[in-house]
Amino acid sequence: MSTATEKTEVRAQAKWVRVSARKARLVTEHIRGRSVPEARTVLAFSPRAVATEIEKVLHSAVSNAESTQNWNGDELVVSAAYVDEGPTIKRWRARARGRVARIRKRTCHITVKVAQRPVSTPPAKPAPEASAEAKPRKRAPAKRAATTRKKKETTA
């Protein structure tokens, strides 16, 4: 495979999940940027119900990366995880005095993208320090100018 056509990210998407996008975004914020094993641990211990749906999408994204790109699943990173709003299902409920109240059943689309962990390069060595003579001298702190206050003249 040439480098120009090589994919850098693999994604998976779950559409029309019956959870509001706002609730799902709270969980996706916790896994964004983490390694896949770490993200799975975070989702496993999350108390929110949507975590199981996001975990399914993460599992699908890792499976896609393993099957299409031959990447190792444990060496992947969640490069992006976001939630978009889906269509809202509208229902009606009877209320007092012949009125109705709208019930909005919100849906969302969950997208998770995984990428290979970037290869870490060793940190560059710092430049050797110059001799003591070439170092700039520290300045003494500047003195404040004395302020003169005029006394108010009292009228008698």
**Residues 87-146: tens digit of each pLDDT:** 999 999 999 999 999 999 999 999 999 999 877 666 666 666 655 566 666 777 666 666
List, for residues 51-99, the tens digit of each pLDDT value: 999 999 999 999 999 999 999 999 999 999 999 999 999 999 999 999 9
0.75 exceeded by pTM: no
For the segment 5-18, the average pLDDT, to the nearest whole number, is 89
Say what the pLDDT of residue 117 is: 85
Helix or strand or coil: residue 6? Answer: coil
Residue 142 CB neighbours (<10 A) = 6
**Which CATH number describes the domain made up of 9-116?**
3.90.470.10
> How far is the CA of 133 from the CAs of 123, 128, 136, in angstroms?
29, 14, 8
* HSE-CB for 100 with a 13 A CA cutoff: 7
